[in-house]
Amino acid sequence: MSDEEFFSLLDERGADLAGWPVHLREDAAALLERSARARAGLKAMQDVDSLLALSAPAPHFDANGVAARATRQSQASRSIMSPAVRKLSFAAAGALSLAAGILVGMTPPSGTAIVGSVQMALNGGSNDVW
Amino acid sequence: MLGDTDDALVQQVARGDRLAFARLVERHGGRLMALAVRIVGSRAVAEEIVQETFTRAWIAAPKWQHKSGSARAFSAWLSRVATNLAIDQVRKPAAVPIEASPEPADPATDAVDALIAGEKLARLRAALAGLPPRQRAAIALTYDQGLSNIEGAAALETSVGAFELLLVRARRALRAAMTEDEA
């Protein structure tokens, strides 16, 4: 294993060599014995890991304030109808549409329409001559 | 128990339950805050991002109950929204560079700085600030949030391979910065 190969593995897998596959770990250990540059690279990556852990941003924040402001800001964007009411509205609209369709279907055609239909039938499907 | 799961709380939020919403904010707000601070470098801006994330959650809750599936789906959705908002914030032309907007004094951080010879930490912070926003987000999602590459990729809405590449590049840059520090 060369220094460059070791650095590539460091960038891919991090500085915790215990998590590397056994054969890579053994090659890395051999390299670290003989290469000061590899040791410096490993030390740098270990520093990165530990400094990132130590400098993790504190999670504290004003939870109550955030919750209150978020609901206040978004109140206008949120429909005033609850999901249940919305479902009922959709169902009512659907039922009304269905009833209207049935009503229209049951209504007999007007007299003029009947005359037109008979004339079209007598004329073999075309009413051009009329 | 279903009553305390994210999905159960989101369903209550969908019905306008503010207490359930407050519980969700308390449960997830801290980690979102840490995520946003790491990406944007400012607690004030990060708090705005967290608030916007939860505003969107409140608005999206009525729709959420129809598409939620896994136990961590809501948590992952929050991470995705917060990450995207933070990256957008950093990419804004008027965004204040991280180094120019240090966090307010935090006694805990000050103590840490002193313990580990603040110069090294400053070097790392400068290197972090120099990373492209998506690389910084990959670092935050992996190191601070403890997400797997699969979860991190989902949060950044990218492939696992692309996420791993972001991490490799970020680590390389940070390692180089710390190696210079050694020299």
pLDDT tens for each residue of B40-52: 988 889 999 999 9
What integer pLDDT is reported at residue A89 of this predicted model?
Answer: 63
Helices and strands counted in chain B (H then E): 9, 0
The answer for B 61-90 residues in CB contact with A (under 8 A) is 62, 65
The answer to whether B50 touches B32, Cβ cutoff 8 Å, is: yes
Cβ–Cβ gap A52/B47 under 8 Å: no
Q: Which chain B residues in 88-117 lie under 8 Å from chain A, judged by CB atoms?
A: 103, 106, 108-109, 112, 115-116
* Length reported for chain A: 130
Q: Mean pLDDT score of chain B, rounded to an integer?
A: 83
Helices vs. strands in chain A: H and E counts, helices first = 6, 0
* pLDDT score, position B98: 53
Structure tokens at A113: 């329409």
- Using a CB-CB distance cutoff of 8 angstroms, which residues of chain A are in contact with residue B108? 58
Element (H, E) at A79: none
Contacts of B172 in chain A (CB under 8 A): 7, 11
Residues of chain B with C-beta less than 8 angstroms from the C-beta of A78 = 16, 58-59, 62
CB contact (8 A) between residue B112 and residue A55: yes
Interface test with B, best of A13, A74, A86 (most B CBs within 10 A): A74
Residue of B nearest to A49 (CA): B143
- Structure tokens of A66? 């955030």
Question: Which of B21, B55, B85, B125 would you mutate first to test chain A, the one with the most A CBs within 10 A?
Answer: B55
Segments in chain A below pLDDT 50: 80, 114, 118, 125-130
What pLDDT, on a 0 to 100 scale, did the predictor assign at position A28? 93
- Name chain B contacts of A12, Cβ cutoff 8 Å: 164, 168
Contact A66 B51 (CB under 8 A): yes
Decide: B38 and A57 in contact? Cβ < 8 Å: yes
Instruction: Say what the pLDDT of residue A72 is.
Output: 79
Closest by CA to B44, choosing from B103, B109, B128, B110, is: B103
What is the identity of the amino acid at B99? E
Residue of B51, B59, B169 with shortest CB distance to A77? B59
The phi-psi region of residue B79 (left if phi > 0; otherwise alpha if psi is between -120 and 50; otherwise beta) is: alpha
- Residue A110 is given by DSSP the state P
Q: How does pLDDT run across B111-143, given as a tens digit for each residue?
A: 655 665 678 888 898 999 999 999 999 999 999
* B116 with A70: Cβ contact below 8 A: no
Residues 68-127 (A) with a CB less than 8 A from some CB of B: 69-71, 73-74, 77-79, 82-83
Closest partner CB to A11 (pick from B46, B172, B181): B172
Mean pLDDT of B85-107: 65
ipTM of the complex: 0.73
Residue B100: predicted pLDDT: 44
Residue of B nearest to A46 (CA): B175
> How many other C-beta atoms are found inside a 10 Å radius of the C-beta of residue A123?
12
Alpha-carbon distance A115 to nearest alpha carbon in chain B (angstroms): 54
Distance from CA of B159 to the nearest CA of A (A): 16
What pLDDT, in 10s, does the model give residues B153-182? 999 999 999 999 999 999 999 999 988 655
| pLDDT score of B41 | 87
Cα distances from A91 to residues A94, A96, A100, B14, B15, in angstroms, run 5, 9, 14, 20, 19
Q: What is the mean pLDDT of residues B79-101?
A: 75
Q: Which residue has the higher pLDDT, A127 or B29?
A: B29
